Amino acid sequence: MSENINNREYRKKIIKEVIKELHEGKSVDEVKKKFQEAFEGVSATEISEAEQALISEGLPVTEVQRLCDVHAAVFKGSIEEIHRETDPAKIPGHPVNVLFLENRKIEKIIEEKIKPYMEKTGKEALEGLLEGLEDLSVIDIHYAKKENLLFPYMEKYGITAPPKVMWGVDDEIRDDLKMLKSDLSYGVFTQEHKKGLEDLLNRIIEMIYKEENIMVPMLLDKLTQDEWKRVADDSSEIGNIIDFVPVWKPDKEAKEEYKKDVKEPGAIVLPTGVFTVEELTHMLNTLPIDITFVDKNDTVKYFSQSSERIFARTKTIIGRKVTNCHPPASVHIVEGIVEDLKSGKKDHEDFWIRMGDKYVFIRYFAVRDQEGKYLGVVEVTQDIKPIQEITGEKRLVED
DSSP, collapsed to helix, strand or coil, labels residue 221 as: helix
Q: Does CATH place domain 88-237 in 1.20.120.520?
A: yes
Computed on alpha carbons and rounded to an integer, the radius of gyration of the chain in Å comes to: 27
pLDDT tens digits for range 141-152? 999 999 999 999
**CB-based contact 92:248 (threshold 8 Å):** yes
Domains 88-237 and 287-388 share a fold: no
In the chain, where do the E strands start and end?
Answer: 268-270, 273-275, 290-295, 300-303, 348-355, 358-368, 374-383
Chain-centre distance of CA 121, in angstroms? 38
Residue 351, C-beta contacts closer than 8 angstroms, at least 6 positions apart: 361, 362, 363
Tell me the torsion sign for CA atoms 53, 54, 60, 65: negative
Tell me the torsion sign for CA atoms 241, 244, 250, 255: positive
The structural domains of the chain, with segments of one domain joined by +, span: 2-75, 88-237, 287-388
Q: What is the CATH number of domain 287-388?
A: 3.30.450.20
Whole-number pLDDT of residue 362: 93
For 76, half-sphere exposure in the C-beta direction (CA atoms, 13 angstrom radius) is 12
Give the separation between CA 105 and CA 245, rounded to whole angstroms: 13
Q: What is the DSSP letter of 299?
A: B
Tell me the torsion sign for CA atoms 271, 151, 52, 59: negative
pLDDT tens for the chain, 399 residues: list them: 344 445 667 766 776 677 667 667 777 777 777 776 766 655 566 666 666 666 667 767 666 666 666 655 555 544 444 334 347 878 889 999 999 999 999 999 999 999 999 888 888 889 999 999 999 999 999 999 999 999 999 998 888 888 888 999 999 999 999 999 999 988 888 889 999 999 999 999 989 988 988 899 889 988 998 899 989 988 988 989 998 888 888 866 545 544 455 556 678 888 878 899 999 999 999 999 999 999 999 999 999 998 878 887 878 888 888 888 777 787 888 899 999 999 999 999 999 999 989 999 999 999 999 999 999 999 999 999 999 999 999 888 887
Tell me the torsion sign for CA atoms 110, 114, 116, 118: negative
